[in-house]
Each structure stands twice: as C-alpha cells, then as structure tokens.
A = this chain, B = another copy of it.
C-alpha cells in the first residue's frame, strides 16, 4: 500500500495542533517589525492530527529496522538498541537541559560525559577523548585537524595521508577536507595493507596513515605492529577508523597497537540507534601528546566538581556547536554500564563468532576472496553468480523477498561484486541459519527471479538513473 505525500493529504483550513492563546498584548507584527522583514505567505501543509499520525505511522511501516529483522549491513554494526537506553535518554533530568545553563546546574550531565570519556579511553587504549564529533566522519575530520595542528606545532609541513584501497570513502574525504593529499596503499593477497608497498610510500611528507582495524574486509591487520613501526619511524601518526571496533571490545585496544588517534562510532559499536541515517556520535580518542589539540571545551573533573574547560590554547577550536550529540552519549553510557567489562568482551566474542559461523555456512556457495578467520564481518563476492548475469545488487534485492535486509554491496571497492555481511552479536544462531539458507537458495536461483526482485515491497526496483538525470528533489504544486 503506497502512502501519499503530506502535501497531497493536506487541505486549506486543517490544523494539526492547538496552541496557547496569547496572554500578552496582541500587537500586530507590523507594529513591531518593519514590513519589509515580514513574509507574505507561508506555504506549509495543513493537516489534522489524526491524518499526521496516520501518515507517518504508515510511512514507518514502509521501513525495516533492526527491531523488525536481521539488518546485516556490513560496516554499520546494526546491533540491537536496548530499550532501557531509549527510556533513559528521554528522562527530563537528562534531556531538558540548556547547553549554556550554569555548570553547577548540570553536574549530572557533565559527570556522564566525563565518565563516558574515561570509559572510551579505557576501551580504546587512549589517553584523552573528545565527545564533540557528531559522527564517524566528523571524528575523522577532527582527527585530521589535530594531526595538522600537531605538525604545525612542530613546525612541520606534511602533505600526505596514506589510506588503504579498502578504506571507507569518508577517510579520503576527511583527509582531503583538511588539505591533505590522500595516497592509496594497496591491499595484499591476504586482504591487509601491503607492507612492502607501504614502506615505499612512507616518508617525511606523510602526516599519517588512516587504518580501519579490523579493516573493511572484516580482517585484522596482522602486520599492525610493523605498520606502526614504519609510520612512527618516519615521524608520522597512526589514525584508527574505529567503525569496526565491535570486534575488539575487551579483546584488544588500538592504543596498544600503536594508534595515536581513534574515533569511536557510538551508533555502531555502542548500540545507539542509527535513526534512519543518524544522529550518530563519533568521539575521538588521542594519545597524550595530541591531547592539547582536542576541541574545546573538554569536560574535566576538579575534586568532586565537573567543569567545562575552554582554556586550551593549542586546541583546534570547535567542530560543532556546544558539546556533542549528548542524547546519543546518554545511550552509549547506559550501554556500557549495562555491559560491564565481561559483557563488553562477550559482545566482541559473539560478534566474531557469528561472522565466522556465517562464513562457514556460505563459503561453498559464494566466492570468498579472503578465506581466513574474519572478525565481526566478512565480504563475499558475487563473482560466480555474475557469470550467469546475476549481480550483487540482484542478490541483495532477492534477500528482501526472503524477509532480510540486504548486506552492504559494492563495498569495499577491491572486491568484485562485494557482499559485505555483518551479523553482529545480537543475532541468534537460528536467525543466522535462516539467513544462510536464504542466501544458499538464492545462489542457485535463476537470473530472472533475481532480476525482478523484490516482489512484495510497496514499490519494485526503482529507476535510479532517471532520478539522477532529472532530479526531482522536492514536491511542487
């Protein structure tokens, strides 16, 4: 069942809410504001409350979420979002706070931020953490700016950041945004950074290497200690894209591997909901030498009081207003408290177990480019199916018919017809079995069935080419 647009439902004269009467003198706006500042018309829709609720409720039903089914979107860690965290993150005591209210009146909020920072530092093996970045990419940007400021403070001008060919698009984009040249380093046949090539690339012009570990193939960078050594010896820094930290929780810490900076994806690793594309949160942890460059303010503790410290002369400044996505921080904090250290490790163990179990069940049916122990996710290739004219996209769409959200496809770029699958620890073996069976069935299905999929959704496959050629980005009368 399709749903019309709000603009098509609305009609002149309907109202969606009742507002208080004006209890102060009702002066005409023209008397308070010069006419040229006043708008003539406000072309917003007009609907009644029942129509609004029904419209958006129906829209929600055209969506899938973790709460409705497996969502094995590789690299995104679509894990279950505990309900108690939602409840906590809606307590008036934690949400009805003005960011500029006096410190003495937000000690609870500051304490939460302080403690979350400490916990993240502990988990990542970092010395100091900023909670300001709003998402992973924002954390990367912050990290790149800190690297820049660090070298500037040492009066060094370095221009390059090395990034593996398997990296997420935000990595080169973030580096470029800070004026760095993104240099690609190839992956070797085991799916890891080619250390020989890396050795050739690293010199005094390299500010940093940006690694995702486990990388986007779901593989642990086995030579991480050697890589750290190469880069550090040339005076460069190691940046860790922590998008895949779920695999390492309580098991290994990027800080111990030689990483100097690490961003956390609270919406991935720490179970805060993805919200249909955000809000996320991308705190950045750094080693002690880089701490002076963190954005302001930092939350610090003085005796029993928590303070916002703006007195950081070397700080890069601010990457957004206020202090970060506080509402998201609450949920990550609650999550950590509900896990404890043992629970944290169990998360990693089960995430990795689930991924390896799925590999085992699927590798006879799909090409597995890197056949080794994986971490929390793995990448299959639709290469075999492609010989029959079937693309990864077709496999993905056909999975929808089987009741599953498709995996990430065509990423990482180095795998032909990539299907990147991340089950997470919050899926049961039974669900994994059913998912595997669906994929195995699909592996044998004919091209026609697959190419016309999905068959039971409110719309069939949509024409993306037409959408881009003649963009229709808004409704018009």
Residue A289 is within 8 A (CB to CB) of chain B in the complex? no
Output the nearest chain B residue to A47 by Cβ-Cβ distance: B428
Inter-subunit contact A338/B18 (CB<8 Å): yes
Separation of A9 and B426 alpha carbons in the complex (Å): 14
The answer to the question of A461 belonging to the interface, with a C-beta cut-off of 8 Å to chain B, is: no
Residue among B51, B53, B67 making CB contact with A57, cutoff 8 Å: B67
B54 lies within 8 A of A67 (CB): yes
Contact call A48/B428, Cβ cutoff below 8 A: yes
Interface string of A44-68 (1 = CB under 8 A from B): 0000111101100110010000111
Task: Kindly list chain B residues whose C-beta atoms are within 8 Å of the C-beta of A82.
Answer: 49
Is A80 at the interface (CB under 8 A from chain B)? yes
* Interface hits, A403-441 → B, CB 8 Å: 403, 426-428, 430
Most buried by B among A49, A50, A68, A83: A50
CA distance A57 to B71 in the complex (A): 15
- Asked if residues A83 and B18 are in contact (CB atoms below 8 Å), the reply is no
Given A68-B58, A68-B61, A430-B9, CB of A53 within 8 Å of CB of B338? no
Q: Which of B11, B61, B66, B428 contacts A61 (CB 8 A)?
A: B61
Is A473 interfacial (CB 8 A cutoff)? no
- How long is the Cα–Cα vector from A50 to B426 in the complex, in angstroms? 7
Does A33 lie at the interface of the complex (its beta carbon under 8 Å from any beta carbon of B)? Answer: no
- Provide the residues of chain B in CB contact with A9, threshold 8 Å: 430
Q: Which of B58, B61, B83, B430 meets A53, CB within 8 Å?
A: B83
Complex: chain B residue closest to A8, CB-CB: B430
How far, in angstroms, from A57 to B83 measured CA to CA in the complex?
A: 12
Residue-wise, chain A 64-79 has the 8 Å CB interface mask toward B (1 for contact) of 0011110000000000
Interchain CA distance A58-B428 in the complex, whole Å? 16
* Docked CA distance A404–B316 (Å): 58
A1 within 8 A of B: yes
* Residues of chain B lying within 8 A (CB to CB) of residue A66: 50, 54
Q: Which of B11, B53, B80, B83 contacts A80 (CB 8 A)?
A: B53
* Smallest CB gap from A65: residue in B: B57
Q: Which residue of B lies closest to A69 (CB)?
A: B54
Taken together as a complex, chains A and B put the C-alpha atoms of A57 and B428 apart, in Å, by 17
Chain B residues within 8 Å of A50, by CB = 66, 80, 426-428
Could you tell me if B1 and A403 are in contact, using CB atoms closer than 8 angstroms?
yes
Chain B residues whose C-beta falls within 8 Å of the C-beta of A338 in the assembled complex = 18
Contacts A57-B67, A67-B57, A68-B57; is A80 near B403 (CB within 8 Å)? Answer: no
CA distance A57 to B69 in the complex (A): 10
A338–B338 Cα gap in the complex (Å)? 40
Q: Which residues of B contact A53 (CB under 8 A)?
A: 67, 80, 83
Task: Give A390 Cβ to nearest chain B Cβ, in Å.
Answer: 24
What are the residues of chain B within 8 A of A69 when measuring CB–CB? 54, 58
Q: How far is the CB of A431 from chain B (nearest CB, A)?
A: 8
Cα A1 to Cα B53 with chains together (Å): 25
Distance in angstroms from A15 CB to nearest chain B CB is 12
Residues of chain A in range 264-294 having any CB-CB distance to chain B below 8 Å: none
Provide the bound-state CA to CA distance between A459 and B218, in Å: 40
A49 adjacent to B80 (CB under 8 Å): yes
Q: Tell me the smallest distance from the CB of A400 to a CB of chain B, in Å.
A: 11
Residue from A1, A48, A82, A428 having most chain B Cβ neighbours under 10 A = A428
Give residues 225-240 of A contacting B (CB, 8 Å). none
Q: What are 12 A-B residue pairs whose CB atoms fall within 8 Å in the complex? A: A9-B430, A18-B338, A48-B428, A49-B80, A49-B83, A50-B426, A50-B427, A50-B428, A51-B428, A54-B66, A54-B68, A54-B69
Interface residues of A (CB under 8 A from B): 1, 9, 11, 18, 48-51, 53-54, 57-58, 61, 66-69, 80, 82-83, 338, 403, 426-428, 430
Given A11-B430, A49-B83, A51-B428, 14 more pairs with CB closer than 8 A: A1-B403, A9-B430, A11-B428, A48-B428, A49-B82, A50-B426, A50-B427, A50-B428, A53-B83, A54-B67, A54-B68, A57-B67, A57-B68, A61-B61
